[in-house]
Amino acid sequence: MGSPKFIPVNEPLLNGNEEKYLIECIRTGWISSEGPFIKKFEEQFARCVGRKHAVAVSNGSMALDAAVVALGIGPGDEVILPTFTIISCAAAVVRAGAVPVVVDCDPVTWNIDTDRIEQRITPRTKAIMVVHIFGLPTDMAPVLDLAQKRGLAIIEDAAEMHGQTCRGRPCGSFGNISTFSFYPNKLVTTGEGGMLATDDDAVAEKCRSLRNLCFKPEKRFVHDELGWNLRMTNLQAALGVAQLERLDEFVGIKRAMGARYTELLHGTKGIQLPMARTDWAENIYWVYGIVLDDDVPFDAVEAMARLANAGIGTRPFFWPMHEQPVFRKMGIFAGERHPNAERIARRGFYIPSGMALRDDQIERSAAAVKELLR
């Protein structure tokens, strides 16, 4: 018997109508960003998130860039966001010429500590960028109250939250503008892809323009503004339509995965597991994260190396924005400390969590984690 096969950290499920719809694109010749699946995907996605408009783009990172610009945020403005997130969030703010202002995360939910947002508001603050982390959303109730009280916009990064709700409302329905990613580790994938969602007609129009190089309908090659080519192809949207048909099933698969991992790992000394539920949501386990206790004599890097030797794929947690060399070089976040994010960045990692993960792979992964801590 050979050694058991390596369990990848993610594998998507593409066994619905994906192939059929892709063949349709090829047979009809609609492979560019003009094609019927784009409109279908946008309409169905908007309905699913409860928004008036959805604008399909090339990825979730560029969706954030477009969101910041579409809200008119630029030089002289500040945007508050969690330090524990992906670089795309702060990068979008910096690229717009604005200043990212970060807040530490909650040590248990790993989301932005909503109690600490208000103290970072200044006369220059324009928006709060909320990022829902790893499957358990940020409680939007205090953020909505604060934004309304202080006249701030909300950018909601729901990249990891397809099918999730907060207090019964879909994630992605709270922001003045919200963004999603369809990278293959997401609950809905298009290979690469992203979406902007909003109820605001003008913001949606601006997003469509930014997506398409700010071409003007009346004088195509004369530009008043700079945009990007952020167009999604009909091929990607075909995948998206097929994936969206199964969203409820996918959320069920993820919840079952999370519950099984917790059942197997519960009581293991030395680790913190994801919260199953809060007052505002039930976890959908975009990924199943683990944080090593302080008394475990090794860190996440060592744990991940040992798990790789046992044939288990892992990924580290995000590295905090205030500790990013690229921002430090730019003089951003100088001297800032955010201990909760610093700690989970060093002690946190996630284990195989993909949609195609089988029960026997969950059991092997959990057993390897337990072995690590014996």
- Sites of contact with ligand PLP (CB under 6 A): 59-61, 85-86, 88, 131, 157, 159-160, 181, 183, 194
- DSSP percent split of the chain into helix, strand, coil, nearest 5: 40, 15, 45
Instruction: Tell the smallest beta-carbon distance from residue 19 to ligand PLP (Å).
Output: 23
Q: Which is nearer to ligand PLP, 261 or 350 (CB)?
A: 350
Distance (Å, whole) CA 136 – CA 140: 12
Q: Rounded CA gap, 158 and 170, in Å?
A: 10
- Minimal distance in Å, beta carbon 91 to ligand PLP? 10
- In the sheet that holds 288-292, the strands lie side by side as 271-272, 288-292, 348-351, 315-316
Nearer to ligand PLP, 170 or 372 (CB): 170
Of the pair 67, 368, the CB lying nearest ligand PLP is at 67
Least separation in angstroms between CB 182 and ligand PLP: 7
Comparing CB distances to ligand PLP, the nearer of 162 and 364 is 162
CA distances from 367 to 25, 60, 109, 361 (A): 44, 34, 24, 10
Containing 113, the helix (H) or strand (E) segment is none
Beta strands at 169-170 and 165-166: parallel, antiparallel or unpaired = antiparallel
Cβ proximity to ligand PLP, 155 vs 307, nearer residue:
155
* Separation in Å, CA 140 to CA 111, 158, 196, 266: 11, 12, 18, 29
Tokens of 208: 């469509």
User: CB of 193: closest distance to ligand PLP in angstroms?
Assistant: 7
Question: Cβ(150)–Cβ(63) under 8 Å?
Answer: no
**Distance of closest approach, residue 153 Cβ to ligand PLP, in angstroms:** 18
d(C-alpha 114, C-alpha 182), whole Å: 27
In whole angstroms, how close is the CB of 218 to ligand PLP at the nearest point? 33
Residue 187 Cβ vs ligand PLP, minimum distance, rounded to whole Å: 12
Minimum CB distance to ligand PLP smaller for 37 or for 110: 110
Residue with the CB atom nearest ligand PLP in the bound state: 60
Return the number of the residue (129 or 203) whose C-beta is nearest ligand PLP: 129
Closer to ligand PLP by Cβ: residue 131 or 152: 131
Shortest approach of ligand PLP to residue 183 CB, angstroms? 4
Residue of 98, 95, 56 lying closest to 76 (CA atoms):
98
**158 DSSP assignment:** -
CA-to-CA distance for 3 and 347, rounded, in angstroms?
28
CA distance from start to end of the chain: 26
Based on DSSP, count helices (H) and strands (E) in the chain, helices before strands: 12, 13
